Amino acid sequence: MKREPVTLNVLDRAIGWFDPVAAARRVVARKALAAAGGGYNAARRDRASMATASTFGGSPESDVITDLPALRAASREAERNHPVGTAAIGTTVSHSVGSGLSCNPAINATFLRLTEQQQKAWQQDVAMRFGHWASSKDCDLGRRQTFYEIQDLVLRTVCCSGDTLVVTPMVERRGQVGRHLALQTIEADRISNPNNTGNTATLTEGVECAPDTGEAVAFHVCSRHPGDFTTGGVRTWERIAARGESSGRLNALHVYRMLRPDLRRGVPILGPVLEPLRQLSRFAQAELDAAVNSSLFALFAEMDSKAFDETFTEESKGQLVERAAKWSGEIESGQVMNLLPGEKVTSPTPGRPNPAFDPFFRSCVQQIGMAIGMPSEVLLMSYTSSYSAARAALLMAWRMFMGWREFLRVNFCQPVYDLWLSEEVAAGRIAAPGFFADHVVRAAWSGAHWVGDGPGSIDPEKEVNAAKERVALGISTLQAESQAFDGVDWEVKHAQTVREATARRDAELSVPGAAPPTPEPAKPDPAADKRAQEQHQAALELAAQQVESLKNPPAPPNVTVHMGAVTVQPAQHAVHLDVKTPDVKVDNHVDVKPAEVSVGETKVDAHIHNPAPTVVVENAPAPAVVDMRIVSMPARETTSRIERDTVTERITRSVQVEKDQE
C-alpha cells in the first residue's frame, strides 16, 4: 500500500525541533480531520493544486456585486482593443438582433370571439401602426435611434456591461397629437446608490427592492456617468419607480440575465474569460511585433574608438552619447544606425513568423468560445473543416443566438409592445373591447410573434427541399418557413408574388412557378371522328354480348367437384392439385406415390405424371366447396380449404382441372 507523504509546515518543524511527540500528534490530528471530510478532491486543501482555491461560499452580493465595476471596465476595454473580445460581442449581437426583431400581432381570435376577417383586419391595422412607431426615431427619447436600433444597443449593453435600464416615459412631440411612448436607454454605471453609499438589505447598487418579496420597486439613476469628468456640476440621483403606484404601468425595464437567485445586477458575458482574453491579446501582439521586426532590414555602422577620440570634440562626443541614450530601440527598414565605440549589435534568430502560433491561438480561442457558448469556427469566422463540422458549428451557434433573441423578446420587445398597445387603446386609436377589464383579455389582445433575420444556408438546395418536405408532411407551414428563412411574413411575399406575376403576364412574359400552358385543341377531322364512333359502337356491342354470355355460362363438360375430402397416401412422387377461382388461388405440392383419390365416399381416378403430376377429379358438379386433406409424409400433414364463388354470374373462369382425355 502506497503511503501518502506527510507535509510539514513551518510551525510543525518548529514544534518538532523542541517536542517531536507533540509535532507527531499534530500531523495525526490533521490527517484525521482531512479524512473526516467528503470524498471530493476539490474540497481538500492539502493538495498543491487546490491550496489557493477559494473556499468561501459568498452571497451574490459578495461574490458578484463587488466585482462588477472592474468587470464592466475590463469588458469594455476588451471589446474596444481585443479582436477576439470584439468578435464575441459583435457576433452575438449581429446574429441575435440583425436588422431587428419585427412584430407580427397574433391575437387569440377564438377567445375574443372574432371572425377570421376581423382578426386579419385588426392585426394588419396594429402592425402598420406599430411599424410606423418603431421605424421612426420618435420612439427614442433623444430621437437618435429607431426601435430596431435600440434593440441592438440594449443587447450590446447587456453583453458588454451586464445589464441596462430602459425608461419608458410618455412625451408630447411637436406636430403630434397627444402623448406617445418613448424609450431611454441608461448605462449600467449610472444605476448606483445615492451619493455612493453602501449597500443595504433593500438597496443594492441602485436597485431598490421590497423587503418581503425582493421585487425591484425603484431604480436610482445618477445624473451623469461616474467616469464623466468633462462636464461640471454636482451629481444628483433620481428615483424612478419601477411601476406606477395606482396603474401598475411599467416605468422602467431592468434588462439583465440572472445568473444566481437574488442577484440584482447582471454580469458581462466576457467576465469569466477576461484574463485569458487579455493574455491572448498580448501574445498575439508580441508575435506580430516579433514578425515585423524580423522582416525589417537595417544597417549598423560601428565606430572605431581611436577615430572617435581624434575626430570629435568633447562637446560633439557628449551630443552623440546623449543621442544614443535616447534611442528607443525602434528600427525602421533600410535605416543606417551609428553605434558608439565598443557597441555591437547581437541579433538572435527570431524564428518568425512562428509556425506554432496559429494552432496555439486557435486552441485558446476554442476555450474562450466554450465559456461564452460560441463555437470557435463561428468566433473566428473560419470554416476550414468539413461540411458536417461547419454545419454543426453553425447549428450550435444558432441555438445560442436564438436563446439571446428569446431573452430580448421576453425582457424588452414584448413589454415595450404591451406598453405601446395599452397607450394606443387608452387613447382610442385602437379598439380592443375588454382590454383594461381583465388581464387575460389584455393578454389575448397583446399576443405577437417576434421574427428576426434567418440563419442563412450552407446548402440552399438541401434546405429548400427539407422545407418542402416539412410543409408537405404537415409539420410546418409556409408562414413558419418564410419567417425562419428571412423573417418576412408569408402574406407579404404572396401579395408581392401576385403583383409580379400579373405584371409579367401583362408583358407577355413567362411566370416562374406557373403551371404549363394548356395545349390548344386539335382541329376537327370528320373522317377520324367517324372512325372513332364506329370503334365505340363496336366496343359497346361486344360488351353487350359478353354480358349476355355471363348470364347463362356453359357448364364445364365432365368437370365436377364433390363435397368431401381428397386424400393422397404418402409417396416419393410429386402430386400437384391446382384449383383456380376468380378470388382464390391454391397451389399445393406434396410427395405421394400413385394411388387412388377419393372425393367423399366416391373414388375417382388419379393420374400421376412426372415431373409435375396433376390430380384429376372427374364427374363433380360445379359450383362446390372442396375440403382437401393431403397427407404428404407420415409426420407431416397439410390441409387447405378452397371456396369457389357460387354466384354463376360472377364466375369468369371455371375450375380448371387437367381433364382425362379417355
pLDDT of 547 reads: 63
Contact assessment for residue 253 and residue 166, using Cβ atoms and an 8 Å cutoff: yes
| CB half-sphere exposure, 607, CA atoms < 13 A | 11
Is the confidence at residue 619, as pLDDT, over 70? no
What is the phi/psi pair of residue 172, to 5°? Answer: -105, 130
Could you tell me if residue 78 is left (phi over 0), alpha (psi between -120 and 50 degrees) or otherwise beta?
alpha
Least confident of 67-76, 173-182, 648-657: 648-657
Report the pLDDT averaged over residues 409-428: 95
Which residues on adjacent β-strands are paired with residue 181?
Answer: 170
What is the phi/psi pair of residue 103, to 5°? Answer: -100, 125
Q: What is the mean pLDDT of the chain?
A: 75
pLDDT category, 345, cuts 50, 70, 90?
Answer: low
pLDDT category, 336, cuts 50, 70, 90?
Answer: low
Least confident of 378-387, 417-426, 600-609: 600-609
Query: What are the distances in angstroms from CA 205 to CA 76, 201, 218, 263?
Result: 19, 11, 12, 11
Higher-pLDDT residue of 193, 589: 193
pLDDT tens digits, 65-74: 888 999 999 9
Is the confidence at residue 171, as pLDDT, over 50? yes
pLDDT tens digits, 279-335: 999 888 888 887 777 766 555 556 666 666 656 677 776 776 776 666 655 665 555
Query: What are the distances in angstroms from CA 142 to CA 139, 166, 171, 254, 585?
Result: 9, 13, 11, 19, 88
Of 26-30, 166-170, 329-333, 559-563, the range with the highest mean pLDDT is: 166-170
- Would you call the peptide bond into 613 cis, given omega within 30 degrees of 0 as the criterion? no
pLDDT category, 646, cuts 50, 70, 90?
Answer: very low
Q: How far is the C-alpha of 53 from the C-alpha of 62, rounded, in Å? A: 16
Q: And the C-alpha cell for 162? A: 451586464
**Closest alpha carbon to 106 in 445, 437, 375:** 445
Percent of the chain with pLDDT over 90: 32
Which residue spans within 482-607 are E strands per DSSP? 565-567, 570-580, 585-592, 597-599, 602-604
pLDDT tens digits, 350-399: 666 788 888 888 889 999 999 888 998 888 888 877 778 888 888 889 88
Angle between helices 83-96 and 68-81 (to 10 degrees): 90
Is the confidence at residue 648, as pLDDT, over 50? no
Torsion of CA 250, 256, 258, 263, to 10 degrees: -80
pLDDT tens digits, 250-262: 999 999 999 999 8
Report the pLDDT averaged over residues 568-580: 38
Q: What string of DSSP letters covers 435-480?
A: TTT-HHHHHHHS-EEEE------SSHHHHHHHHHHHHHHTSS-HHH
Q: Which residues contact 225 (CB under 8 A, 6 or more apart)?
A: 187, 189, 190
Q: What is the pTM of this model?
A: 0.65
Query: What are the distances in angstroms from CA 254 to CA 266, 270, 382?
Result: 10, 20, 36
Of 354-358, 568-572, 578-582, 602-606, the range with the highest mean pLDDT is: 354-358
